[in-house]
Structure 1
């Protein structure tokens, strides 16, 4: 099977139910943005994996790294589930297609547990922070802002009942998770968050 199909050479693409739409369709923009986020997440995972292989890493840090990596990889898989959901019109697809692409609230519940656990090991925030610190933390902030864009794009879909509530909630919750995870990555490597200083 060839990587290229040429079917999109005139500016259209297929949704999950076979319907062809313009490549600037809101659904395509939403799941394309989610794909961007997943790529930023992949960079963060790559950096953390490299750190985990360092011969000088302590078991304490390795345990924390592996915990964070497991969570991030879980999210990468859920992004594929969510992408399929976003690529499926809820009002113009048959029941079989809808069943294959449902998105459950369980994923958001899991994120909330992880956010609480990560937050419990971090110093309290006293000011706004800027993206930065460890390279993995910086890429997690990039993932956070990219998924926020996916959420904004998807708002019209939830308003038109073209997106399940659980999917929209996940978009909102995962950005909160990335914020906590970025701070946790800095914490693992004993790097302080980059704090915002107002010009006087």
Structure 2
């Protein structure tokens, strides 16, 4: 029988992918730990959402996040040979795909210029919650990049687009419902 516990992290350290150990308080662990949190948050959102288009996109996002988590957890030591399928897994093509999804969904919904109050449905509320966790992930990755650097700069852009995509997915989930809008706060562009 396989054991789930190894006891290797009992002193506050964890292993990096491709060797090496770091403190569990390291910014890298925070970043890829938040990736794990987003994957789970999106999993919960899938249990709440009803729109088939939303569910298909969430599956793809979860898969891409597993790749990002692996990439962020790779040992940065230059002497460690990294497999090509782990590094630079998120490309400009992936970013363009998210942008196409956003543009396609925007043709189906009207978001207006007001802030939207989360909670119209359990599906949209779970997507809005996931979006806020992704924003935290983005801040963590930006901090990681500023402090020690990340090899694949596309990750930052991809995560930024992902939060935009989740915003419109939440609106798509509620497109047939009366969403509550907060008027008079957001300024329209002139």
Task: Output the TM-score relative to the length of structure 1.
Answer: 0.83
CA–CA separation in structure 1 for the residues paired with 2:166 and 2:85: 29
Contact residue 122 and residue 184 of structure 1 kept, 8 A: yes
1:53-92 aligned within 5 A: 65-90=51-76, 92=78
Contact residue 28 and residue 73 of structure 2 kept, 8 A: yes
- Runs of 4+ in structure 1 deviating by more than 6 angstroms, as ranges, are none
Change (3 A) 1:93 1:26: farther
Q: Secondary structure at the match of 1:24?
A: coil
1:125 and 2:102 correspond = no
Contact residue 94 and residue 158 of structure 2 kept, 8 A: yes
1:154 and 2:141 correspond = yes
Residue 165 (structure 1) aligns with: 153
Residue 102 (structure 1) aligns with: 88
Single out whichever of 140-149 and 162-171 deviates more from structure 2: 162-171
1:142 and 2:129 correspond = yes
CA–CA separation in structure 2 for the residues paired with 1:184 and 1:174: 15
Gapped regions of structure 1 (runs ≥ 5): 52-64
Change (3 A) 1:38 1:93: farther
1:184 and 2:172 correspond = yes
Gapped regions of structure 2 (runs ≥ 5): 186-190
CA–CA separation in structure 1 for the residues paired with 2:24 and 2:7: 14
Instruction: Give the superposition deviation at 1:149.
Output: 0.5
Aligned length: 182
Relative to its length, the structure with more helix (as a share) is 1
Residue 42 (structure 1) aligns with: 43
Residue 54 (structure 1) aligns with: none
Contact residue 115 and residue 177 of structure 1 kept, 8 A: yes
Instruction: Give the superposition deviation at 1:113.
Output: 0.6
Task: Output the TM-score relative to the length of structure 2.
Answer: 0.87
Instruction: Give the superposition deviation at 1:97.
Output: 3.5
CA–CA separation in structure 1 for the residues paired with 2:64 and 2:132: 18
Single out whichever of 178-187 and 100-109 deviates more from structure 2: 100-109
Q: What RMSD over aligned residues (CA atoms) do the two structures have, in Å?
A: 1.9
Question: Residue by residue, what CA displacement relative to the aligned partner does 1:133-156 show, whole Å, maximum 9, x if unpaired?
Answer: 110110111111101111101113
Contact residue 17 and residue 93 of structure 1 kept, 8 A: no
Contact residue 137 and residue 186 of structure 1 kept, 8 A: yes
